[in-house]
Amino acid sequence: MLWLQQLGQIGLRFVSRLGMSLVFLIHALYGAVRCLPRFSLVIQQLFSIGVLTMLIILVSGLFVGMVLGLQGYNQLVNFSAESSLGLVVALFLVRELGPVLSALLFAGRAGSALTAEIGLMKATEQLSAMEMMAVDPMKRVIGPRFVAGLIAVPLLAAMMSAVGVLGGYLIGHGQFGVDPGVYWTSMQNGVDFVDDILNGVIKSVVFGFIVTWVALFEGYDAIPTSEGVSRATTRTVVTSSLAVLGGDFILTALMFGGL
Amino acid sequence: MKQKTIEIWVGIFMMIGIAALMMLAFKVSGSAGGGGDVYRINARFENVGGLNEKAPVMIGGVRIGRVADIRIDKEDFSAVVGMDIDSKYDNLPSDTGASILTSGLLGAQFVGLDPGAEDLYLEKGDELEITQSAIQLESLISQFMFSQAGKGDNSGDDDN
């Protein structure tokens, strides 16, 4: 009987957290709309979650592109199809790796920071203090971070794809001597603007939404102790990474067929 | 950090992000600018082989359009290939022929057009009369095998 009760407890807790996060999402979206007139708040958040994440995205994008170039070339050369290297690298990056990896890195670099910041604000009762002063924390704290996350992630994903394509070019042309014209032409012939690039951007918008939502909710919902904040930070990274990967499967199946 | 420095950095961030998007749109896909005016012509083939939609349409190796759709005619079951030709090239003679070719031995298939000599030009919705189906490697190989087998029998007879 005990294990049945425990199972029920877990189920109830899961459903109630899901409901709470949805209510939180509605409040956060409303706060995000209302914070737009004070755009300087959003810019501040764009700095701390966008600009500071840019470097890690650019560096990892370059390395991912170079690895794709190496692996792709070594396999394609067996079929003397190394002229398709540009296409392979670009499709991998634009469709999958750009949006997914940048969302995962964003969750680790910025999502965890968001959770810790808001959790600590809650633990030190800054949020309650704001409410006492009739400042709505949804509008002042949550809203700007939400908007900034939605803007930052698609831009970061685009940067990662672009830098990765350049990294693949560096390896393909510099190391293996693939003709530059062939590299870019195979890419331009095979990559479609709507099917590939636009779908990649849509993916990264969805991922930005998911990661920011999870991070803000975990912070807002954290138990206001140092242990609670640390646990919430861990949960942010785990939950948002899983949600991004699961969401990626669904989005890929919807966009490129299969379901 | 001062508000001004933050704003400058965010400006740089947005610039790089938008530049990356532009690069993806124009340099990587190369089709965002090319969505210009096109006109549709059709060609009827017995067999289109492995031709795909979006395959290039070329004259003399220069891309002038792409395959827009491939469907089957319900009456005579021939394959009808619709091609979007760039409206820059609006002076294709009406007796232009189309054939399905392969780039390289095992490369992707494309439609090659051979311009004719008529004074009339192809217009939107016209159908090409002279077409040549895709070369099918399997049937070529089987033909070759049969002819070889036949030869083998003949030479056997000669020996006897």
Is A162 close to B10, i.e. CB distance below 8 A?
no
Mean pLDDT calculated for residue range B119-134: 83
Smallest CA–CA distance, residue B10 to chain A, in Å, is 6
As given in the structure block, the two tokens for residue A2 are 């005990």
Please state whether beta strands B62-72 and B56-59 pair in parallel, antiparallel, or not at all (unpaired): antiparallel
Both ends of chain B: CA-CA distance in Å?
Answer: 100
Is B31 close to A50, i.e. CB distance below 8 A?
no
DSSP per-residue letters across A58-110: HHHHHHHHHHHHHHHHHHHGGGT-GGGHHHHHHHIIIIIIHHHHHHHHHIIII
Is B21 close to A196, i.e. CB distance below 8 A?
no
Residues B51 and B91 in one domain: yes
As given in the structure block, the two tokens for residue B22 are 């532009």
Q: Which residues of A are less than 8 Å from B3 in CB distance?
A: 40, 44
Smallest CA–CA distance, residue A187 to chain B, in Å, is 6
Is A193 close to B29, i.e. CB distance below 8 A?
yes
Whether chain A has a CB inside 8 Å of the CB on B141: the answer is no
Smallest CA–CA distance, residue A17 to chain B, in Å, is 35
C-beta separation of A236 from A115 below 8 A: yes
Could you tell me the residue ranges of all domains in chain A? 41-256
Whether chain A has a CB inside 8 Å of the CB on B130: the answer is no
Flag whether B90 is in a domain.
Answer: yes
List residues of A whose CB lies inside 8 A of any B CB.
Answer: 40, 43-44, 46-47, 50-51, 54, 90, 94, 152, 154-156, 158-159, 161-163, 165, 184, 187-189, 191-193, 196-197, 200-201
pLDDT digits (tens, 9 = 90+) for B21-73: 888 888 877 654 455 688 888 888 888 877 877 788 888 888 888 888 888 98
Smallest CA–CA distance, residue A2 to chain B, in Å, is 54
Whether chain A has a CB inside 8 Å of the CB on B20: the answer is yes
What is the rounded average pLDDT for all residues in chain A? 91
Residue B4 has what pLDDT?
87
Smallest CA–CA distance, residue B8 to chain A, in Å, is 9
Flag whether B59 is in a domain.
Answer: yes
Give Cα B78 distance to the centre of its chain: 18
**Residue A84 to residue A55: CA distance in whole angstroms:** 29
Q: Which of A52, A197, A205 to mutate to test the interface with B (most CBs of B within 10 A)?
A: A197
Residues B6 and B81 in one domain: no
Flag whether B78 is in a domain.
Answer: yes
Residue A132 has what pLDDT?
92
Whether chain A has a CB inside 8 Å of the CB on B14: the answer is yes
Residue B152 has what pLDDT?
63
Domain range for B108 is 38-137
Whether chain A has a CB inside 8 Å of the CB on B25: the answer is yes
C-beta separation of B30 from B80 below 8 A: no
C-beta separation of B96 from B115 below 8 A: yes
Is B25 close to A51, i.e. CB distance below 8 A?
no
Residue A74 has what pLDDT?
92
- Report the DSSP beta bridge partners of residue B58: B63, B112
Residues B88 and B132 in one domain: yes
Smallest CA–CA distance, residue A15 to chain B, in Å, is 38
As given in the structure block, the two tokens for residue A122 are 């809650």
Residue A55 has what pLDDT?
93
Is B16 close to A163, i.e. CB distance below 8 A?
no
C-beta separation of B20 from A155 below 8 A: yes
**Residue A106 to residue A111: CA distance in whole angstroms:** 6
Q: Which residues of A are less than 8 Å from B16 in CB distance?
A: 54, 155, 159
Residue B35 has what pLDDT?
56
C-beta separation of A117 from A219 below 8 A: yes
pTM, two decimals, is 0.77
Mean pLDDT calculated for residue range A69-74: 92
For chain A, percent of residues with pLDDT exceeding 90: 71
Mean pLDDT calculated for residue range A151-176: 93
Is A51 close to B10, i.e. CB distance below 8 A?
yes
Flag whether B129 is in a domain.
Answer: yes
Residues B51 and B24 in one domain: no
Q: Which residues of B are less than 8 Å from A163 in CB distance?
A: 20
pLDDT digits (tens, 9 = 90+) for A199-232: 999 999 999 999 999 999 999 999 999 899 999 9
Residues B47 and B104 in one domain: yes
ipTM above 0.90, yes or no: no
- If one counts the domains in chain B, the total is 2
Residue B106 has what pLDDT?
64
- Nearest Cα residue to A41 out of A123, A175, A136: A136
Is B28 close to A197, i.e. CB distance below 8 A?
yes
